[in-house]
Amino acid sequence: MNIPSLKTFQVESRITDFLNRKFEEYQKVFPPLDMYYPDNSFKGEGYQTGNLFEWEDEEYDNFKRNELFNLTSHFFEIDTPFRIQCVYNHMMEYGKGTSMVKHTHTHNEDFVMFIYLNDCDDGHTAFYLNDDEPEYKERTTVMVKPTKNTGVFFHAGIPHEGFPTYENKKIFVMGIRIDLRTN
């Protein structure tokens, strides 16, 4: 079994093109979800979908059953679907000047997968691998530039933040739970 704490990866453009198309389709039908985050961590304007696992769209259902499962099982090297549960999935578009303050995802999932849907020269995501002491935080910070077809897979307990963007960064987010019990 391979359980990485933080891993960047590449996806085929057909995946990001599909996600961008589905995001546009969703936006034409549904208003944005209220951008609620604990402690007001989302700063600025933007658009967030609801949980796409609840979206009744046959094409997207097919995508999540095949593509998303294949991506997640690849990272864990787990063959059986009974050990991986994708619990939340949404897309966000950051408005000009929008940022996300430092937070984790431990309240809902064990791992998180981001896929950047467009290129931005700003709006980097910072991952703080050791956030306890200033010296450790500085030397173990990983910065990821939003680049289309690039993803990040990481443990939900890693604090991370999205720096301000003025280029309308778009991102796909998925929360994942795993069950390591052998029974």
**Per-residue pLDDT, 85:** 82
Measure the CA–CA gap between 143 and 127, rounded to whole angstroms.
6
Which of 175, 159, 174, 169 minimizes the C-alpha distance to 47? 169
**Per-residue pLDDT, 83:** 78
For residue 107, the SS3 value is: coil
Number of C-beta neighbours around residue 148 at 10 A = 16
Confidence of residue 84 (pLDDT cuts 50, 70, 90): confident
Least confident range of 16-25, 69-78, 172-181:
69-78
**Per-residue pLDDT, 18:** 98
Least confident range of 86-90, 117-121, 177-181:
177-181
**Per-residue pLDDT, 14:** 96
**Per-residue pLDDT, 79:** 60
157 pLDDT more than 60 = yes
Write out pLDDT tens, residues 23-82: 999 999 998 876 545 455 666 788 889 999 999 999 999 999 889 888 887 777 766 656
- Of residues 171 and 83, more confidently modeled: 171
- Of residues 29 and 133, more confidently modeled: 29
DSSP code per residue over 27-90: HHHSPPPP---GGG-EES-EEE---GGG---HHHHHHIIIIIHHHHHHHHT---GGGEEEEEEE
Which of 16, 148, 161, 172 minimizes the C-alpha distance to 93? 172
Which of 3, 7, 21 minimizes the C-alpha distance to 172? 21
